[in-house]
Structure 1
Amino acid sequence: MTPPPARRRRTGADGAAPARNLPRRGTVRRAQAITTYGVGSLVAVDQESFIVSGLDGADEHWSSDESPRIHERRLARLLGVQHFRLPPASEDTSRDGIRVRRFPLMHSCPECNDLRRHRDFNPPAGRSVCGTCEADLVPSRFVIACEAGHLDDFPYWHWVHRAAGAGATTAGQCGGTLKMRTSGRSSSLRSILVSCTCGVPEVSMEGSFRKSALKDLGLRCRGTRPWLGTSAPAQVCGMTPRTLQRGSSAVWQPVLKSALSIPPWSDGRADPLAEHWEELRKLSSRAEVEMCLKFAFKGESPVPIDEVMTLLDAEREEDPSGEDAPTFDHRYRALRSKEYERLRAGNDEREHSRDEQFVCETPLGDTTALHPLGVTGPMLVKKLREVRALKAFTRLSDPDSAVDPHEVPLSDSPLRWLPAMEVRGEGVFLRLDEDRLGSWEKATAVAARAERIRTAHQRTLEQRAGDPSRVAPSPATARMVLLHTLAHALINEWSLEAGYPSASLRERLYAADDMAGVLVYTATSDSAGSLGGLVAQGEPDHLDRTIRSAVRRAEWCSSDPLCVESEASGTGGTNLAACHACVMLPETSCEHNNILLDRALLVGTPEDPHLGFFSGILAC
C-alpha cells in the first residue's frame, strides 16, 4: 500500500468530474488489486480502514481506457467467463479507481475512550475524527469471520455483558456507552479493557480468540457481507464465527487461477471472438460456423474461417477425456496437460510473427550431459505470457483447501468477466526421465515418505472442509513432492547465482501419471522477468552445474539434524524435511503455499542416503 496522496476533488482526463465525485483515499498497484487488496479484503490507509467493494456495477464505473479488457480463452473457458479486465490504475489522472467502504464500523477515541460506530462520533465530512475531542479515531483491531466468508464487527456489547447473562440479546439495550482503554502493563490482550457505563464490570479481551469464545456467548454468524454494501441482504449462515485481528492474513485469501498463453491462442488473433465462443462451440459444421460469424460481425469475420476451425479443434482437444460431467479439477488438469504438451514440443520464434507471445526452443548445447542426473528435455522459454485471474476469495482457510461452498464470489450477481492481470517473462522448462523416475517411485522407503505427507495433507483438507465427503484427494505423490522440492531448490540456486530476487521467480508444476516436468519462470509485472538472464541458465552446461550445486546445497540445512530428521513440519504436518532455512520460498513463488515439500526425496537421509532421486550426485 503506497502512501495516499493529498485528498482532493478529482477530475477526469478532460477536466470533467466523474459521474460520482468520490473522495480519494490512497493508491494500490494493479497487481495488488488481484493478490493483496482484492474484493473483500481490508485496506489500511493512514488511521483509517476500508474493505474493497464487490464488482457489482464495476462495468459502468471502470473506465475502458484505465481498465482494458484482456483475453485468454483457455482460462476464460475454465472459469466460465467471456473475458477479463485489468483493475483500474490508481494514478493522479485516474477518473475512478477501486471502490471501498469503511470497515470495521466500530471505532474508538484515544482521548475520551468511547467505543462506538464511526457515524455515532459525528465526525466532520471527509474526516475520521471524534466530533467532541477532535482526535483521530482508531478502527477496531478485532473483527469476526466465518468459513463461509462472512465478515462482521466484533460484538463488544455482548462480550462486556456476558457475565450478566446477556446472551444474544439486542446490543445496546442497557442504555450505556461502551468504553475501551489500554492498561499499558503489557502488549497482550489482557491489557485491552472494555467497559460499559451501565455499571457492568470491566473485562479484558483475553480469551476472545478461543474457537468457542463466541459460541459460549450464544452468538452465530449473521451472514453479513460488508463488501457488497448495506443494501446486500444478509445470508442465512448459522456458523460459529471466530475472532481475528483486522490485519490477519486469515481475514482474506485470494483464489487465483492462471494459464499460459500457448498456440494457437498466443498470437492474439482470436481475441475478437471472445464473446462468441459459446455459440460457436454448439456448431459442428464449417458452414454453420461461417454463417454464425457473418451474423455476429454483420459481414466478414475478422478471423479467417480456417483459423476459427483450428481454434475450435484445439479447444475440443482440451476437453477432459473419459468424464461425463467433468469437475473444475478435471478441467484444470486438462489445461495443464495441454501446456505440458506444448512446452515439450516447443514453438520456434523463427516460424511465427512478432505478435507471438509464446516462444519455446530447444537449447543449442548437448543435452546428453544431463542424462546422468535423470533430467531430460530442457527447453528455453524465451517469451511467455501468463494471465492470473481472481476467481474468488476465502476466509479462515487456505484456497487450496477450500471447497466450492467456501469460495466467496466477488459480486452479488453473476458476472461475465473477472479481474485479472497479465504478466510477461521467460523461463526454463525441464523434465525428469520417466524410466528412472518410475523405478525410484516404486522404492518402499520413497512411497512410505510420500504416503505420510499425503495422509497429513488429506487430514488437513478434511478438517477444514465443511463436508469432508466432498474434499478432492490430496495431490501429494512421490513424483509431485520431488518436482515441487526440486523447483524450490532451483529457485533458491538461481536467486543466489543469477542475481534474481527469489520473489520474482515462480514455479509451475506438471506432475501426474503422464507428466513429470517443472517450469521455473520470471513472470512478474515489472522488468525483472524480461532481461534474458534466466533463459541463459537453461543451456545444458549451465543447467548441469545449477542442478548439481542446488542438490549439494540442499544436502545440508542450518537447522539440521532437526530438519532432516523431522517426523512432520509445516501446516498440519504436510512437510517433512523442509523449513525456511533450506527449501521454503516466498509465498508468491510457490503454487502450494510452502507445503508438500521434502528435501529427503532429493538428497536422501543420513540413515538412507539412497532415498533421494539425486543421491548419485552426492556420491561423486
Structure 2
Amino acid sequence: MIVNNNKTPVGEVRPSQLLWTYGPGALIDLPNLSVVTLGIDRWEKDRCQPIQEARLLDAVRKVLGPQVENLRMPPFKKGEQLDPFSAEANIGVPVRPFPRWMRCVKCGLLSPFDAQLFEIKENQYRPERTRFVHRGCTGSKGTDKAKDADAVPARFLLACRNGHLDDFPWHYFVHGGAGTCKGTLSFYESGASLQTENLWVKCSCGASRSLAQAFGKAGKENLPACRGRHPHLDHFDVDCKEPPKAVLLGATDSWFPITLSALAIPQASDPLTQLVLDGWDFFEDVTTETEVAPIVKTLKKTGSLPGIDKFTPAAIWAAIELHRSGGKAEQVGEADIKGPEWAVLTEANPPTDYPHFMSKKVPKPQGFDKYISRVLLLERLREVNALLGFTRVEAPESSGDSSDRSHMAALAMGKPEWVPANQVHGEGIFIQFEEQTLVDWEALAAVKQLDVQLRGGHRGWRNSRKLDPVEGYPGIRYAMLHTLSHLLIRELALECGYNAASIRERIYADTSTDQPQAGILIYTAAADSDGTLGGLVDLGKPENLGRLLEQALNRSKICSSDPLCSEHDPEKDRSLHGAACHACSLVAETSCEQGNRYLDRALVVPTLVNAGAAFFVGP
C-alpha cells in the first residue's frame, strides 16, 4: 500500500482484501492513519496480472460495457525481505489520507492536514508507523513546553446512498449553518464514556455543539446537502438528491462491494482444447508452430495458464488450428453465469480431469432417495471473482447478475478498461434435488402461504428503499434451497476443519427455462492451499453426508431463540427472512450469496409455528 503523491509506504493488506474489504473508494483504518483507496485508473496496470475467465469477462462487459479488456489481480510484492528504498518495495495500490480533518490527541486541535498545522512523519522501515504529528503542541493547558504530539483522523464522515463520501462539515455543524467564521476548532470529551452526547466540537468564537445532534432526526436538520464527492476519483457529482448520513470511521456500512463470480467449468471436449480456449488471448496471434514454445515458456514462468506446459508444442499448435478453424466447443450463453455451470454439473457423465475441474459421482445418502437425485464431489475447482463497483450506507440487493445497481459507484473516471479480480482454488459438494418432489412441495397450501409472506416482506423492503417492488424476488424454491444450504454449511464447518468463513455457496434455483434448476453447491473459497486439502469432499461421501444432513435438520427444528424466531413474519416488518436468526440459520456474510436474505427454516423442517411447509418431512 502506498500514498499516491510521494509514494510513501503506509501499510499492507492482502490482495484479496482489495476486492472484498478495501477496494477503490473504501477507507482503510490503519494504526495511525486513515486512507482511501484511489480509483483503478490510478493503479499501475502493468503490475496487475491478468486472469483468464471468458464467461465472467463476458458478464462483466454486459454490466460495464464492451470496453473492458480483461480481469486483473491487484498488484502485490513477491518477496517479504526487500530494501525499503528499492523500487520493488513501492509496489502497491495508491491511496490518499482521508478524512482530511485530523485531531491532536493532546490539545484537541481539529484541522485539515493540508492547513500546514499537521505534518506527516514517514517510516520507511515500518510503514505502518507512518503518522501525522502536531508540531510544537503545547498540550490542552497551553504550557510553555512545546512538544510534537500525534494527530489521528477525525472519526466522523458523511456518506449517502449514491456512493458519495465527504469530510464531516465541522464549521457548518458547530455554527448551525454556513457562515463566515474561520475560527480554530477543537474536539473534546465531556464524560467518561465515548457516547456521542459526550463528544463536543468547539470553535474559538465560543460556538459549540454535541455530536449527538449529527445523528438521527436531528442530523437531517443540522447537516448540509450532499456535495456529491467521490474522494477516490477527485470528482464531484452535481445535484445529488440523497440526504447525507453521518457515519463513523471504520463503520461497515461505508463500503459494500458489488461483485460477480463464476466457476471455471469445462467448455471443450478435452483438457488441451480447454486450456487453449482459456488462454486464447495468448495464442490468438500465433501463426506458426515455432512461436508456441516461447509462449509456453513464458506462461510457465508467470503461472498464467497452469497445466499448459504438460503438452508438446505440436499438440498445442494443432489445438490452436482446430480452434481457429471453428472446431471449438459450442459456448452456450456466456453472459449467463449459472446456466452453463448447471449444465456441466448435471451431465450424465460430468468431466473428471480438467485443469480447474475434477469431479466424481458418488451414491446418494441412504434415506434421502425421495429428495436427492445426485451427489457430485468436486475434488478440484476454481472460482474467479470480479469487482464491478460499490455502494455506501446500504448493501446492494444481492451479489447476483440481477442485483439492483442504481446506486453503484464507479471504480474509475469514465468507463473502466479492466476490473480488479481474484481467483481461489478449492473443492466442493454438489447436491441435486428431485424435481418432482420439489414441484409437489411447491403445491402445498402452507408453502404458498409462506411464499406470500416472503414476497410481501420483499415488496415492503424494496418500497422502503424506493426500488421496484416487483423485481428481484428469487422465489420460494430458492428460499428453501438457500436455507438448507446455510444449515448444511453450519454443520460442515463443525467437522471439516475449515474456517467457516472460507466455505461458500452457490444456489441453482432458476425455473424460467425448460430445464428447471434445483441444486446447491457448497465449496471452499480459500486463496491458498487450505481450500484443497480434501476435508470437505470427504464429508460428501454418502455415509458422512447422510449423517450431516440428519444432524442439520434435527438441530434446526428448535432454535434457542424460539418461539420468537419461528413466529417472525417478514410481511409485518418488511424484512427478507422468516424463521431465521443468528442462532439457527445465518452464516458469515462472505459465505452467503444473498447477504443472509431469503431464509426460512420452516420451509425445510417443521417449526413450532408452521409444521406443514417443510420440504423434509422425515428421511
**TM-score scaled to structure 1, two decimals?**
0.82
CA distance in 2, matches of 1:49, 1:380: 44
Change in Cα spacing, 1:349 to 1:601, as seen in structure 2 (3 Å) is: closer
Aligned to 1:16: none
CA distance in 2, matches of 1:236, 1:276: 48
Tell whether the 8 Å contact from 1:347 to 1:359 is kept in structure 2 after alignment: no
CA distance in 2, matches of 1:504, 1:85: 22
State the secondary structure of the residue aligned to 1:486. helix
**Counterpart check, 1:23 vs 2:8:** yes
CA distance in 2, matches of 1:406, 1:312: 40
Aligned to 1:562: 564
Change in Cα spacing, 1:418 to 1:57, as seen in structure 2 (3 Å) is: same
| Count of residues in Structure 1 that have an aligned counterpart in Structure 2 | 550
User: What are the equivalent positions in structure 2 for 1:34-45 lying under 5 Å apart?
Assistant: 34-45=19-30
Tell whether the 8 Å contact from 1:149 to 1:394 is kept in structure 2 after alignment: yes
Which has the larger displacement, 586-595 or 494-503?
A: 494-503
**Counterpart check, 1:501 vs 2:506:** no
Q: Which amino acid aligns with 2:276?
A: R
State the secondary structure of the residue aligned to 2:406. helix
Change in Cα spacing, 1:276 to 1:180, as seen in structure 2 (3 Å) is: farther
**Counterpart check, 1:306 vs 2:322:** yes
1:189-222 Cα offsets, whole Å, 9 max, x none, are 110011111233x2101131225624x2472111
Identical-residue share of aligned pairs (%): 33
State the secondary structure of the residue aligned to 2:540. coil
State the secondary structure of the residue aligned to 2:213. coil
**Counterpart check, 1:255 vs 2:254:** no
CA distance in 1, matches of 2:175, 2:496: 60
Report the CA distance between 1:37 and its aligned residue: 0.8
Tell whether the 8 Å contact from 1:82 to 1:274 is kept in structure 2 after alignment: no
Q: Which amino acid aligns with 1:27?
A: E
Report the CA distance between 1:121 and its aligned residue: 4.5
State the secondary structure of the residue aligned to 1:587. coil
Aligned to 1:49: 34
**Counterpart check, 1:318 vs 2:299:** no
Aligned to 1:144: 158
Aligned to 1:76: 57
From 489, 510, 522, the equivalent of 1:512 is: 510
Report the CA distance between 1:312 and its aligned residue: 6.6
From 215, 221, 224, the equivalent of 1:219 is: 224
Tell whether the 8 Å contact from 1:575 to 1:596 is kept in structure 2 after alignment: yes
CA distance in 2, matches of 1:530, 1:311: 34
CA distance in 2, matches of 1:274, 1:476: 36
1:338-374 Cα offsets, whole Å, 9 max, x none, are 1111111177666x56xx21112211xx437354451
CA distance in 2, matches of 1:389, 1:347: 30
CA distance in 2, matches of 1:131, 1:472: 58
Aligned to 1:100: 95
Change in Cα spacing, 1:503 to 1:385, as seen in structure 2 (3 Å) is: same
Aligned to 1:130: 134
State the secondary structure of the residue aligned to 1:89. coil
Instruction: Work out which structure has the larger RCO, using CA pairs closer than 8 Å and 6 or more positions apart in sequence.
Output: 2
Aligned to 1:343: 345
State the secondary structure of the residue aligned to 1:199. coil
State the secondary structure of the residue aligned to 1:385. strand
State the secondary structure of the residue aligned to 1:419. strand
Aligned to 1:524: 526
User: What are the equivalent positions in structure 2 for 1:474-493 lying under 5 Å apart?
Assistant: 474-493=472-491
Aligned to 2:126: none
Q: Which amino acid aligns with 2:113?
A: H
**Counterpart check, 1:114 vs 2:109:** yes
Which has the larger displacement, 522-531 or 453-462?
A: 453-462
Aligned to 1:409: 410
Aligned to 1:286: none
Change in Cα spacing, 1:607 to 1:580, as seen in structure 2 (3 Å) is: closer
Change in Cα spacing, 1:309 to 1:360, as seen in structure 2 (3 Å) is: farther
RMSD between aligned alpha carbons? 3.0
Aligned to 2:305: none
Report the CA distance between 1:249 and its aligned residue: 1.1
Report the CA distance between 1:83 and its aligned residue: 1.7
User: What are the equivalent positions in structure 2 for 1:173-188 lying under 5 Å apart?
Assistant: 173-188=180-195
Q: Which amino acid aligns with 2:71?
A: F
Aligned to 2:308: none
Q: Which amino acid aligns with 1:493?
A: E
Change in Cα spacing, 1:53 to 1:372, as seen in structure 2 (3 Å) is: same
Task: Please list every run of 5 or more consecutive structure 1 residues that lacks an aligned counterpart in the other structure.
Answer: 10-18, 278-291, 320-330
Report the CA distance between 1:565 and its aligned residue: 2.2
More strand by share: 2
1:473-516 Cα offsets, whole Å, 9 max, x none, are 23342211110011111111111233332212111100121101
User: What are the equivalent positions in structure 2 for 1:222-233 lying under 5 Å apart?
Assistant: 222-229=227-234, 232-233=235-236
State the secondary structure of the residue aligned to 2:337. helix
CA distance in 2, matches of 1:312, 1:210: 60
User: What are the equivalent positions in structure 2 for 1:395-434 lying under 5 Å apart?
Assistant: 395-400=392-397, 403-434=404-435
CA distance in 2, matches of 1:400, 1:153: 27
Q: Which amino acid aligns with 2:379?
A: K
Tell whether the 8 Å contact from 2:344 to 2:350 is kept in structure 1 after alignment: no
CA distance in 2, matches of 1:593, 1:571: 18
Q: Which amino acid aligns with 2:12?
A: T
State the secondary structure of the residue aligned to 1:413. coil
Q: Which amino acid aligns with 1:358?
A: F
